[in-house]
Amino acid sequence: MATFRQPGTVLTDHVLAVPLDHDDPAGETIDVYAREVVTGGTPDKPWLVFLQGGPGSASPRPIGRDSWIDRALDDYRVLLLDQRGTGRSTRISRQSLARRGSAHAQAEYLSHFRADSIVRDAELLRRHLLGDDGTWTVLGQSFGGFCAVTYLSFAPEGLREVLITGGLPGLDARAEDVYRATYPRVAAKNAAHYARYPGDVEAVRRIAAHLREHDVRLPNGGRLTVEAFQSLGLALGSSTGSHEIHYLTEDAFESAGVLSDAFLATVQHRLTCVTNPGYPLLHELCYGQGDGATGWAAQRVRAEHPEFDADDPVLFTGEMTYPWQFEVDPALVPMREAADLLAARPHWPRLYDPAALAANEVPVAAAVYYDDMYVDRELSLETAGRIAGARVWVTNEHEHDALRVSSGAVLDRLIAMVRGEV
């Protein structure tokens, strides 16, 4: 258990072996890693475990008291959990999946990396660190909020309180329901972007036309298609994403009429999933419950929105994953068959228990971002009404990344809400 210091903080590593399949505790194990952050020594403060958004993303790598951690450390001992498959927990990667053998074996392995398994990992870690009777606060951002609702459903005895930012899922929503709600929100974000930067209409149209007429390759050899270029719109739901897309597209071409190396390198950095293949593999599975395959729902629902295939203007897409990603991203090509098998899987366990949530006794505070492009506001508010005692703050002051960029203000309000001070 390594411990080291940064300016104003002391960090300690924790690693715990957990079952790959929690229903088979005597079977294969994987490692789960978490980083403890305190202000020095062993302060007598309650624990707060952070569940990162994603899926497929590691927990933050802090430098001192940065971002929301500064506010959290005033009241808590913080634990940054690398959810299974990410960071220093047993990681999903091209190499690790290849070692599983066949695509069927890979898909079966990946089926154990959803929110239900993440919560059971957290419970084992809680008992390991706090004992059977210890409880902790959960802070869930985006997908981490989905996990927090799963936690409330199946293991509320481990929870002292729950804080959720931009992460209240639809309890009964299927993948296609989510995308039917979010495609119009993405179109609205496009309209706002082009209203802010009207010159981008022609700049983006010119790039898309060039991609249709040429076989454009990124530095890693992957093909840059129109659909891949459109997926840069994932950034539009963040506080700075519209500006970043403007600066990327305003000078994409060299004078000779070819896309510049700088443009292509930046696009590759934004598009490749080499560091987080778990995201495209697992994203739609977040919505898989009961009977029925997710079936590449984002691709199917896109066909209901022909405006995303037009060029007046060219619309960017949002937080959607598509089968073509496994054809054009070299990091994902070896995983295509496994991804198809997961998309076709006919049944998934339930992730939420409406009856347990209706009887909830754990204090819950949640921020719902009115203009959230990633997590539908109406689905979130419906869920909030089904969690007994949940306090909800609906705001248009912030975008989905507010926890990270608000210098602790969002977390401060949630803490006050859960304590009944606001």
Amino acid 164 reads: I
What is the three-state SS of the chain?
CCEEEECCEEEEEEEEEEECCCCCCCCCEEEEEEEEEECCCCCCCCEEEEECCCCCCCCCCCCCCCCCHHHHHHHCEEEEEECCECCCCCECCHHHHHCCCCHHHHHHHHCCCCHHHHHHHHHHHHHHHHCCCCCEEEEEECHHHHHHHHHHHHCHHHEEEEEEECCCCCCCCCHHHHHHHHHHHHHHHHHHHHHHCCCHHHHHHHHHHHHHHCCCECCCCCECCHHHHHHHHHHHHCCCHHHHHHHHHHCCECCCCCECHHHHHHHHHHHCCCCCCHHHHHCHHHHCCEECCCCCHHHHHHCCCHHHHCCCCCCCCCCCCCCCHHHHCCCCHHHHHHHHHHHHCCEECCCCCHHHHHCCCCCEEEEEECCCCCCCHHHHHHHHCCCCCCEEEEECCCCCCHHHHCCCHHHHHHHHHHCCCC
Q: Could you give the CA distance from residue 43 to residue 40 in angstroms, rounded to a whole number?
A: 7
The answer to whether the bond into 306 is cis (omega within 30° of 0) is no
Q: Which two tokens stand for residue 5?
A: 């210091």
Closest CA to 366 of 349, 386, 348, 350: 386
Kindly list the catalytic residues.
Answer: 142, 372, 400
